Structures are given as structure tokens and as C-alpha cells.
Chain A
Amino acid sequence: MINDKNSQKIVDFIQNWARKHSIWVLAYGTGCGAIEIPPTMTSRYDAERLGVRGAATPRQADVLLITGYLTTKTLKRVIRVYEQMQDPKYVIGFGSCTINGGMYYDSYNTIKVLDKYLPVDVYINGCMPRPEAVLSGFAKLQELIAQGKANGAQKYKDNLDWYRENQKKIIPNWVMPEYNW
């Protein structure tokens, strides 16, 4: 029986196993953290052995890395990029700026808490996190995917109104397309 609860479990297991070994990261860097991505991807740390590799466009990518501070201007683009991404999709907040503002805590132009605007699955702290920390963040994300707990996209769909309200507080002139998934 295919609708059996146990067979669903097996299907989920296989699905999550496949997903966790093909994490494609969107090649999009915000802030200064993007400079840690090339050493992570190249031969010294070689993230591709974990299945982590770059993807050219949002529609091909699974992971959106927010590498560092997000200005209000960039937030607009990031929201748009995130909403174009196809399921499964995950967000990694990278560096202390995404967690609590970091050294830009008093800036007039950068947001401080990323998870009020986008659902974050994994945070990597540090200013800057070294490639080892980045890899451990990816390992944590794989763990969460395997357990089926990396459900930020579902959270975003369910609480879209709350996220929209927060986003529109920062972006008063809202001229973005409404995506219906």
C-alpha cells in the first residue's frame, strides 16, 4: 500500500537523503561575507564533496546564503530572489550582522534581525565565520534536512501575512510581483 504510513516514511527518507546531498547555493553575495565563499568552494575546503555547489539562478538553487549585513535596499532584492526560488529552499544567515546587527547595530540603513523578514533555517555566527564554520553550518543544515526539520519555506507560506507586514514596514513603496506558489 502506497498510502501506508510506513511507506510514506520510507519515501520521505529517500527524498530527504537525496535533498541533503545536493545543496545548490545561489551565487549571490550580500555584504562582506561573500569573500568567504570562494575558499569554501575551492580545493582547500572543497565544499563540493558535501554536495554543496553554486547555482547560477534563483530558480535552480536550493539555498540562499545571506552573507553579512543586509541594507534595506538589498532586502528588497533578496525577498524577490527568495520568492522566485523553487521548493525545496532553505536560508542560511551568515555572520553576526544577520543575527543581531553586528557592528552595524546603529546603522540607519541595515536591518538587524533577519528572521523577522525571511525564515532562517541555520545561523552561522562569527564576524567573519571562517570556511570551517561555513562547512559546519552546511553540515547542520544537512542534519536538519535529514530529520525533516528544515521547513522554513513552509513556515514562510503559512505566516506570509506576518512576514509581509514586517517587510512592508521597511519597504513602504511596495512594487513587487505577488508570487503564488
Chain B
Amino acid sequence: MDELKTKIIERIKANFQDATENNSFNYNRLDFNVNKTTVPSILFYLKDEMGFKHLSHITCVDWLEEGELELIFIVWSPVDKIKVFVRTRLDRENPVMDNIDMIWRQAHTYEREFREMFGIQFTGLEAPQDFLLEDWDGPPPMRRDFHTEEYASETFFERPGREDAGDVREEIIKRSGEEIPDFAKKYSR
């Protein structure tokens, strides 16, 4: 496995100068950090030349303190049984990324979701604007500076009475005369 991993690292480094590897994970995982302009070509190369045929997942991480969004593409090789993470950083204020749905068609769905949930614009993505959210006119809800509880309490009604979320057992005992069994007492707050 280690031989295979070093071989992959050599091939990637020879073809993509800006790729930096991270080989500190055990067993079958390998990480590459690249610039965002390199992402389509490295994914093409991994798929067509090296047998990483399967796109497992695309995910996004919000690095609020660093002012960046990180996109992570996870690809899997069914022959070598290795998964490769391709990471790239985007500017948080104006996140623009190349569309990759011509490589894997399923990336289309991911990209529509990122556009809605993180506000990432994919150049050349042809899809209707609304996907999961309808009539949404707030900030992208999956970013870390979106206060979901605040938004929910502003937008939706709340049922009064249980704001404190306190323990109601005492009150139940008072009202009904019911006794708490011993085993349940230790769970009381």
C-alpha cells in the first residue's frame, strides 16, 4: 500500500507543480492541496489516467477565521482501493469555482447545493436557481456566521411556556402525587 501511495504522489507531483501532498494518514487515504484553477485538470487526470473512477463525495468547510471556504473532493479507485482527497481554498467574500459536472455528472447536484447553502458560484453551471430552499432571501444558511437559532426565532412562531427547558419532574410530583423511582432520580438535573 505504501509503495502504491508513493507512486501516486510521484505521478501527481510530476504533473501538477502546485500540488502539495499530506501522507500522514494511515492505511488507504491520501491528501492533496491544490490551487482552485488546477482542480478540474487534476480530477480529469485522476479519473482518466490513474483509475480513480468514483467520485465519493464533495464537501465544503467554512474557515471563518481565515476568511476562506475549503472545497474537498473525495475520489476512490476501485482497483487500488485508495481514496484521494483533493482540497482547495476559495476566497470567502467572492467564492468562484470551475464547474466540474462534465467529469462526473453527479457533481451537478453537489454544485447546486453548494451554490444555495454556501453561496459558491460555479462558472458554467446550467441549472435553475432554486434547489432545496424556496423563496430564500437570507444569507447562505450553512455558513458559520449565519445564526440559525436567531433566524428561526425571528421568522417562526414559538410556543410559550418552556423557554427555560428546565426539569419538570418536581412540578409533576406536586400536581399528580406520582413518585419518581430511585433509579430515575440520578438522571434528574
Contact = CB atoms under 8 A, between A and B. Distances in A.
Nearest to B141: A108
A107 interface: yes
A110 B156 CA distance: 8
Interface string B112-131: 00000000000000000000
Interface in B81-136: 132-135
B162 A107 contact: no
A171 B155 CA distance: 11
B137 to A, nearest CB: 8
Contacts of A149: none
Nearest to B142: A108
Contacts of A72: 134-135
A76 interface: yes
Contact of B148 (A108, A111, A166, A170): A108
B2 interface: no
Nearest to B149: A106
Interface in B147-161: 148-149, 151-152, 155-159
Contacts of A166: 157
A34 B170 CA distance: 34
Contacts of B177: none
A100 B135 contact: no
Interface residues of B, number: 18
A112 interface: yes
A45 interface: no
Interface string A22-57: 000000000000000000000000000000000000
A134 to B, nearest CB: 22
A113 B160 CA distance: 10
A81 to B, nearest CB: 17
B157 A113 contact: yes
Contact of A112 (B134, B141, B152): B152
Contact of B152 (A76, A107, A172): A107
Given A106-B148, A108-B148, A76 B156 contact: no
Interface in B131-189: 132-135, 137-138, 141, 146, 148-149, 151-152, 155-159, 162
Interface in A62-78: 72-73, 76
A76 B151 CA distance: 20
A112 B135 contact: no
A111 B159 contact: no
A162 interface: no
12 contacts: A73-B132, A73-B134, A99-B159, A101-B156, A105-B149, A106-B149, A108-B146, A111-B157, A112-B156, A112-B159, A116-B157, A170-B155
The 4 closest A-B pairs by CB, nearest first: A106-B149, A100-B159, A113-B157, A173-B135
Interface of A: 72-73, 76, 99-101, 105-113, 116, 166, 169-173
Interface of B: 132-135, 137-138, 141, 146, 148-149, 151-152, 155-159, 162
